[in-house]
């Protein structure tokens, strides 16, 4: 059975769901990747934020965060915090979430700071490398852009 896909704006997110999203993100980014970083960055509850997640029997198994930015009055989106529970990887969960987020982005440009080893996966979704590799919280990343169409 396919895990249900959910979407919610930051301001409409209930406390229990926010807890589950944060729990998975900490499990993957902080514990699994051994990368202590400020997960609570002040963006999750804003009106310009949309959360996408898959529910696997009462627990969040995959998630991403989409933030709408408006520099100089033009719409630009940023995908981040893409992660999947280790036991659920290899089932296309991230692809489903990215496709749902990009459907909402539409024709507007979208950025992502991709962990370098995931560059090819994001390229399959129309992202292209848009700068030099950099280290963020000790992990190699590369800026990527999916230009407006």
Regarding beta strands 139-146 and 76-84, do their DSSP bridges make them parallel or antiparallel, or are they unpaired? unpaired
| Tokens of residue 43, six digits | 């963006």
Which residues, given as ranges, of the chain have pLDDT below 70? 1, 71-72, 149
**What local confidence, expressed as pLDDT, does residue 67 receive?**
95
d(CA 111, CA 14): 27
Query: What pLDDT is stored for residue 2 in this prediction?
Result: 85
Can you name the CATH fold of 5-110?
Aminopeptidase (3.40.630)
d(CA 58, CA 69): 32
For residue 148, give the 3-state DSSP assignment.
coil
What is the structure's pLDDT at 111?
A: 95
Residue 71 is predicted with a pLDDT of 65
- What integer pLDDT is reported at residue 112 of this predicted model? 96
Predicted local confidence at residue 119, as pLDDT: 94
21 in Cβ contact with 82 (< 8 Å): no
């Amino acid at each position: 059975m396919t895990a249900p896909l959910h979407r919610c704006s930051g301001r409409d997110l209930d406390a229990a769901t926010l807890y589950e999203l944060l729990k998975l993100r900490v499990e993957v980014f902080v514990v699994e990747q051994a990368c202590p970083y400020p997960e609570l960055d002040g963006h999750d509850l804003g009106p310009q934020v949309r959360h996408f997640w898959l529910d696997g029997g009462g627990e969040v198994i995959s998630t991403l965060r989409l933030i709408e930015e408006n520099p100089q009055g033009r719409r630009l989106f940023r995908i981040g915090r893409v992660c999947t529970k280790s036991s659920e990887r290899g089932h296309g969960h991230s692809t489903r979430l990215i496709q749902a987020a990009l459907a909402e982005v539409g024709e507007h440009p979208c950025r992502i700071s991709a962990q370098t080893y995931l560059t090819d996966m994001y390229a399959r979704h129309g992202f292209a490398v848009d700068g030099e590799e950099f280290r963020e919280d000790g992990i190699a990343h590369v800026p990527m852009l999916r230009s407006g169409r």
